[in-house]
């Protein structure tokens, strides 16, 4: 599967509705987005804990209401006239085709889990479409306790001297369904994870040769900033 990282973020503002809609036009299998909870309990799609990098004005997400955040425009490259807004999870789910997936990366704490489950239910997004991903073990563990039928992948930044037994112990403890990692070189890690009965997914891969190598190593999805090239050159 090819997953578009924050939408088509090479050409459009990351984590925006135009970027996600462009990804569907490229024929990707799914999108990946980053999500925080606002002061008034709305889930919004943005990577950082504040808006400075993507809006050129700084509001802290957890201390701001949706109305305040919607006053800002997403900037992109040198554009000063963008009218693109930070989308809510609800707005992203509205444009999710019924046969496509969304990888929901949680960037805040466990307080987002119950509102997230409510939104998935409201939009009738079933366990075949939505996957939760997080670097935070607590997020994965709590989410799986609440809705064990949905998949959740633990995000892991690869280290050359990583202890694979420790990784497997953590995955078993938090009930993760799979590991998602930036590992590009260790086939052993991938084999051990898959042979233990877990899924293995890769991020963020923009080189076609590396993508093809990982696919030959049984990786089940590739998250990329360049979905058009990765898909067309496979």
pLDDT of res. 11 = 82
Domain containing 137 equals 2-232
User: What is the C-alpha separation between 51 and 7, in angstroms, rounded?
Assistant: 18
132 phi and psi angles, rounded to 5 deg: -95, 135
User: What is the C-alpha separation between 53 and 91, in angstroms, rounded?
Assistant: 22
**pLDDT tens string 164-223:** 999 999 999 999 999 999 999 999 999 999 999 999 999 999 999 999 999 999 999 999
pLDDT band at 120 (very low <50, low <70, confident <90, very high): very high
Residue 135, pLDDT > 70, answer yes
How far does CA 69 lie from the centroid of its chain? 21
**pLDDT tens string 48-76:** 999 999 999 999 999 999 999 999 999 87
Number of domains in the chain: 1
pLDDT of res. 229 = 83
Residue 33, pLDDT > 70, answer yes
CATH number for the domain that contains residue 225: 3.20.20.190
User: What is the C-alpha separation between 32 and 38, in angstroms, rounded?
Assistant: 20
Do residues 45 and 87 lie in contact, with contact meaning Cβ atoms separated by under 8 Å? yes
The whole-model pTM stands at 0.96
pLDDT above 90: percentage of residues in the chain: 91
Q: Average pLDDT in the 107-118 region?
A: 98
- 3-state secondary structure at position 90: helix
């Amino acid at each position: 599967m090819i997953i578009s990282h924050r939408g088509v973020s090479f050409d459009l503002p990351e984590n925006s509705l135009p970027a996600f809609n462009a990804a569907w036009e490229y024929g990707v299998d799914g999108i990946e987005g980053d999500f925080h909870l606002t002061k008034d309990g709305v889930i919004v799609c943005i990577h950082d804990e504040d808006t400075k990098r993507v809006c050129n004005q700084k509001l802290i997400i957890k201390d701001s209401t949706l109305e305040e955040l919607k006053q800002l425009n997403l900037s992109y490259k040198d554009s000063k006239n963008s009218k693109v807004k930070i989308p809510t999870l609800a707005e992203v789910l509205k444009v999710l085709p019924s046969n496509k997936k969304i990888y929901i990366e949680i960037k805040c704490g466990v307080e987002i889990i119950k509102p997230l489950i409510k939104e998935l239910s409201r939009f009738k997004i079933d366990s075949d479409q939505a996957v939760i991903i997080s670097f935070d073990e607590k997020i994965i563990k709590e989410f799986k306790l609440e809705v064990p039928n949905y998949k959740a992948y633990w995000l892991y930044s690869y280290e050359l001297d990583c202890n694979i037994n420790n990784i497997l112990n953590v995955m078993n403890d938090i009930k993760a369904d799979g590991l998602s990692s930036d590992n590009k070189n260790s086939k052993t890690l991938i084999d051990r994870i898959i042979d233990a009965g877990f899924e293995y997914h890769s991020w963020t891969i923009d080189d076609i040769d590396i993508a093809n190598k990982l696919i030959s190593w049984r990786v089940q999805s590739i998250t990329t900033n360049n979905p058009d090239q990765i898909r067309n050159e496979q």
